[in-house]
Amino acid sequence: MDYYRRFREALICAALLAVPFFFLSANLRDAAEVGVVDGIVLQVSAPVQYVAAQAAQGVRDVLEEYFYLVDVKRDNDRLRLERTVLRDENLRLRGEAVENRRLRQLLQLRERVRGESLSAQVIAKEISPAFRVIRIRLDRDQRDGLEQGMPVISSEGLVGQIWRGIDGRYNDVLLTVDRRSSIDVVIQRTGARGVLEGIGATDSYLCRIQHLQRTDQVEPGDEVYTSGLGQRFPESILVGRVVSVNRPDHGLHQEVEVEPAVNFTTLNEVLVLTSGSRRRGAEQDDEWNGEEWDPDSDRER
């Protein structure tokens, strides 16, 4: 039995070695020299070779895909990091571009206005419950030469006028939409004159022109400028644009509402006209003396 077992094992090993040999020999022969035995071997080995080749191809594809995905993941991580850095850099550059544009407009505005002016930064804004700006505060005070009633302008138009100093370091501005604001204005298209007064609404930015005759030609879209005759503001400063006109059946005057040219929400830098502007009106000085900023009273209105 031991002899038979050893003989069987040797026979199996010889067969296992011979089969690949015959397969390899048949495949390496020239097609013209293939005999009957080689042809049979080729026919038998063809399916086996096909299956083995497909299996090897599948394994190779999986391995290549794996290593490819590893490289892709590494590249994606690198690109994601670069995108984050570039996005932050882009946001920073955009912010600087916006700031540079505002400062350039402010510089151009200073070159256009007559007399001396002082630039100031908006450091605080009083917001109504309806998210409307009802007061702004500047980083300038009396030591910088600011006085009550000095006009405050931006590249968009008239902002208002200096109201009062705070703690000897800051100044509040009375906006054109404040109910205490009163500005002598002119309709550019027709030359009609009136007095622009703030409505003081906490849910909208609107002013109203008083004392416009019914016969004065005013239409929505007309631009409103300072007339220079109100003893406080120089002439030809854009104040706003007419948004509505109402001519009652009775009475001498028409009702005209104006939307300010300045966007108080995005306002960041302004110019204060320290000289070369009209002097302040005595009545407004008397009206403001001793008055304090009470945001709660504004909100109630």
> Encoding tokens for residue 84?
């984050």
Note the pLDDT tens digit of each residue in 44-93.
Answer: 666 766 677 777 777 777 767 777 777 777 888 888 888 999 999 998 88
pLDDT (0 to 100) of residue 22: 61
Give 3-state DSSP helix, strand, coil % of the chain, rounded to 5.
Answer: 40, 25, 35
In whole angstroms, give the CA distance from residue 232 to residue 288.
14
> Residue 2, class by beta-carbon neighbours within 10 Å (0-12 exposed, 13-18 middle, 19+ buried)?
exposed
In whole angstroms, give the CA distance from residue 74 to residue 71.
5
Cβ neighbours, 10 Å, residue 177: 26
Note the pLDDT tens digit of each residue in 228-265.
Answer: 886 678 888 999 999 999 888 777 889 899 999 999 99
Helix (H) or strand (E) holding 258: strand 255-260
* The CATH fold of domain 117-300: Thrombin, subunit H (2.40.10)
Given a contact cutoff of 8 angstroms between Cβ atoms, the answer to whether 175 and 165 are in contact is no
In whole angstroms, give the CA distance from residue 145 to residue 127.
27
CA 101 to chain centre: 14
Amino acid, res. 120: A
pLDDT (0 to 100) of residue 251: 73
pLDDT (0 to 100) of residue 172: 92
- Spell out, as residue ranges, where the chain has pLDDT lower than 70: 1-4, 15-46, 48-50, 63, 230-231, 276-301
Alpha-carbon separation of residue 230 from 195, 227, 245, 279 (angstroms): 9, 7, 23, 9
pLDDT (0 to 100) of residue 43: 64
Cβ neighbours, 10 Å, residue 268: 14
pTM value > 0.85:
no
Instruction: Report domain extents, the chain.
Output: 2-64, 117-300
pLDDT (0 to 100) of residue 213: 87
3-state secondary structure of 222: coil
Q: Among all chains, which residue has been given the structure tokens 């009273």?
A: 297
> Encoding tokens for residue 145?
């030469």
Given a contact cutoff of 8 angstroms between Cβ atoms, the answer to whether 179 and 301 are in contact is yes
Given a contact cutoff of 8 angstroms between Cβ atoms, the answer to whether 151 and 182 are in contact is no
Q: Is 130 left (phi over 0), alpha (psi -120 to 50) or beta?
A: alpha
